[in-house]
Amino acid sequence: MNDLSQQIVELVIKQAYLTFKKGNMMIFRRSLGYFIILFLLPLSFWVANLFSARIHPCNKGIGNTFSLNGLAEHVEIAVENKYPKKQFDISVAQSGCDIDFRGKDVTESNKDNLKRIAKEDVKVETDQGNLNPVKDVTFSELEILKVGDTDSARIRELEISQYKYQITLNTIWVLVAGSLVFFMNAGFAALETGFCRFKNSKTILAKNLVVFSIVAIVFWALGFGVMFGKGNPIFGSSGFFLISYAENSPTIGNAYKGVFESLNQAAIPLSTKFFFQLTFASTAATIISGAVAERIKFKSFFLFVPLFTIFVYAVVGHWIWGGGWLSKLHFWDFAGSTTVHSVGGMAGLIGTWILKPRLDRYRSGVGGALPDFRGRTCRGNRIYPFKAYSLSLSTLGCLILWLGWFGFNAGSTLEANSTAISHVLLNTALAGSTGSLGSLIGAWIYFEKPSIAFLINGILGGCVSITASCAFVGLPSAAIIGFIGGILVNFVTVLLEKIEIDDPVGAIPVHLGCGIWGTIAVGLFSEGANIYSKYGLYPKYDQNNLEIPVGPDIGILLGGSFWESLWPQIIGILTVAIYVILVSWVLWKLIGLISGGDLRISRIDERKGINREFWDS
């Protein structure tokens, strides 16, 4: 190393000599720059570091500034719940400038002892994003460790490193789960195309392609802010366009008090939270597509989706997941039986009712495929089934949706916790399986033979049924919930046919019927507020850093109270139904006026197929 330094010095001196000899000032300046970079800057840093280490042996710390009457200048400050731990007590060990705070329990004597040394209250300045500088912080709000070449400092650094590693794992898991939910769009497209007729297939594919694009734009611009931004108990009024809103909740957890405080329990970046919630919003809008298939104008659906996303889905989502009034009422919907599926199903039901049945679906006279007591509506009309384009395609769509549901439900844990993910995923698989069994048995009894269409919708109905409670119930309860959901699909499908509500793909029985049932099931089968610690989900902490029991109360079938467990679920689903039905009716009517006075395509287009709307048909 010394030889190399000597050679560099000789090179610089030689270059300087040649520079003066030739009178080339440019070369001289360049040589001087090399000398400063190679020697003076490293030397100055080395001297400063050496001087600092000798004068201030505590300056090896990391984090924010902590002033304690000049005794300690740089230690790490961990704001409440930044790293969830039990509270340290405060004991003082004075050695030069080293101040070491650690122990078991905070006591008044420790506080007094510290104040006698400091002779003033502790003052902290923090640069944690949206947090303002914190002053006069009480000792119960902080965890303070000695920083330097000590065991406690090294342990603290390991804790920080482990926490950052956990944030990375959480982010990867939620992004993968969100991608699975996004892939459900392919499942919906295949399912709907297979159940409907070929002459309408291009419109169906176009609707399923365009819905995510529309939702992504409006959810980024307004929907996410309405749903999760700070505002009032009805809707959020901040956080639009995700501009200028620093988000650091992965770092400080429940201590975060920024615009998106309702999401502070999730230790993932804001962009990850947005992407995951975007896929949910897209799913809710896609549900509507199946209910109104084969007779709605493409432009009518195109206009309805953004209005639905902002004024219906985002508002209800704020009530339930965004810190709104239903969340304060202890209404529980873990992954969206109400928030996503029931809301989409209700909007689809109103659209189907306004559009009226497809041509020749219900006809007077004789004919049809079923005997009178099964094949006639309440008005005495015959039910004429239309031939599906491809049940193979619908079956593939069902399997894709089932796969996506594992990300839909298990991803809602919002953390890479093996216990929580495994439990939620297993509940989802079991409920879908028992749902298929319940629907298959029901179809066998009613039609005297099995039905592939009912089998497909039974699986999906079981998945919808468990969505609200997948983190709150055990496996036996999940099996029962899914089985009842499968039977409910058959019952609601037959009921809609009897009252001449024409749903081509069964979206209303699956998403609305089973969504309501799944929401009620939380109040019946929940295992109680300790469910989070039991199944590994993220806890919450109070101001004293003590864990708060989180989750619904014990279900009434397990000994819980009707008013504490089931009543909030009933109130929630009823108020959501009233709001969604009224607003959806207004939006459908408004779009009908904009679309030329009618939502529906012409009779000629309906008979020949809506594919004629597209240039490449």
Higher pLDDT, 547 or 320: 320
Asked whether the CA dihedral 508, 510, 512, 514 is positive or negative, the reply is: positive
pLDDT of residue 139: 36
Structure tokens at 503: 């749903």
Structure tokens at 151: 């065991």
pLDDT of residue 596: 76
Name the residue among 406, 420, 471, 398 with its Cα closest to residue 188. 398
pLDDT of residue 21: 56
C-alpha distance across the termini of the chain, in Å:
76
pLDDT of residue 385: 84
Report for 67-71, 293-297, 306-310: range of highest mean pLDDT: 306-310
Q: For the segment 108-144, what is each residue's pLDDT rounded down to a tens digit?
A: 444 444 444 333 333 333 333 333 333 333 333 333 4
pLDDT of residue 125: 35
Rounded distance, CA 321 to CA 279, Å? 15
The pLDDT of 163-172, averaged and rounded, is 87
Residue 306 Cα distances to 183, 273, 287, 313, 422, angstroms: 21, 20, 14, 10, 35
pLDDT of residue 595: 80
Arithmetic mean of pLDDT over the chain: 77
pLDDT of residue 93: 34
Q: Which residues make beta-bridge pairs with 95? A: 98
SS3 content of the chain, % helix, strand, coil (to 5): 65, 5, 30
Report strand pairing: 547-548 vs 540-541.
antiparallel
**Residue whose structure tokens are 């360049």:** 30
pLDDT of residue 483: 97
Structure tokens at 122: 């502790």
**Which of 221-230, 346-355, 425-434, 544-553 is predicted least confidently?**
544-553
Q: Is the pLDDT of residue 12 over 80?
A: no
Structure tokens at 397: 């769509």
pLDDT of residue 457: 97
Name the residue among 140, 113, 136 with its Cα closest to residue 124. 136
Overall residue count recorded for the chain in this entry: 617
Q: What is the CA radius of gyration of the chain?
A: 32
Q: For the segment 19-52, what is each residue's pLDDT rounded down to a tens digit?
A: 555 555 555 555 555 454 445 544 554 454 444 3
Q: Say which residues have a Cβ less than 8 Å from residue 612's Cβ, sequence separation at least 6.
A: 605
Residue 190 pLDDT level (bands cut at 50, 70, 90): very high
In sequence order, which ranges of 337-417 are alpha helices (DSSP H)?
343-355, 372-375, 391-410
CATH number, domain 172-613, options 3.10.180.10, 2.40.50.140, 1.10.10.10, 1.10.3430.10: 1.10.3430.10
Give the DSSP letter string of 56-70. Answer: -TTTT--SSEEESTT
Residue range(s) occupied by CATH 1.10.3430.10 in the chain: 172-613
Structure tokens at 129: 């994003």
In sequence order, which ranges of 219-358 are alpha helices (DSSP H)?
224-228, 249-252, 270-291, 298-308, 314-320, 325-328, 343-355
Q: Is the pLDDT of residue 16 over 70?
A: no
Q: Say which residues have a Cβ less than 8 Å from residue 559's Cβ, sequence separation at least 6.
A: none
Q: Is the pLDDT of residue 312 over 90?
A: yes
| 47: number of Cβ within 10 Å | 10
Angle CA 329–334–339, to nearest 5:
75
**What is the phi/psi pair of residue 216, to 5°?**
-60, -40
Q: For the segment 567-617, what is each residue's pLDDT rounded down to a tens digit?
A: 999 999 999 999 999 999 999 999 999 887 789 998 888 888 887 766 565
Q: For the segment 338-355, what is each residue's pLDDT rounded down to a tens digit?
A: 999 999 999 999 999 999
Asked whether the CA dihedral 347, 443, 405, 533 is positive or negative, the reply is: positive
The pLDDT of 158-167, averaged and rounded, is 75
pLDDT of residue 448: 83
pLDDT of residue 542: 53
Higher pLDDT, 408 or 26: 408
pLDDT of residue 148: 39
Rounded distance, CA 102 to CA 155, Å? 13
Structure tokens at 469: 């409670």
CA neighbours closer than 13 Å in the CB half-sphere of residue 548: 12
The pLDDT of 365-377, averaged and rounded, is 63
Higher pLDDT, 516 or 6: 516
Helix (H) or strand (E) holding 607: helix 603-608
Q: For the segment 215-228, what is each residue's pLDDT rounded down to a tens digit?
A: 999 999 999 999 99
| 35: number of Cβ within 10 Å | 16
Buried b / exposed e over 138-161, threshold 16 CB at 10 Å, is ebebbbbbbbbeeeebeebeeebe
pLDDT of residue 378: 84
CA 23 to chain centre: 69
Higher pLDDT, 328 or 49: 328
The pLDDT of 531-559, averaged and rounded, is 67
Rounded distance, CA 555 to CA 468, Å? 13
Higher pLDDT, 107 or 356: 356
Name the residue among 489, 563, 569 with its Cα closest to residue 521. 569
Rounded distance, CA 521 to CA 502, Å? 27
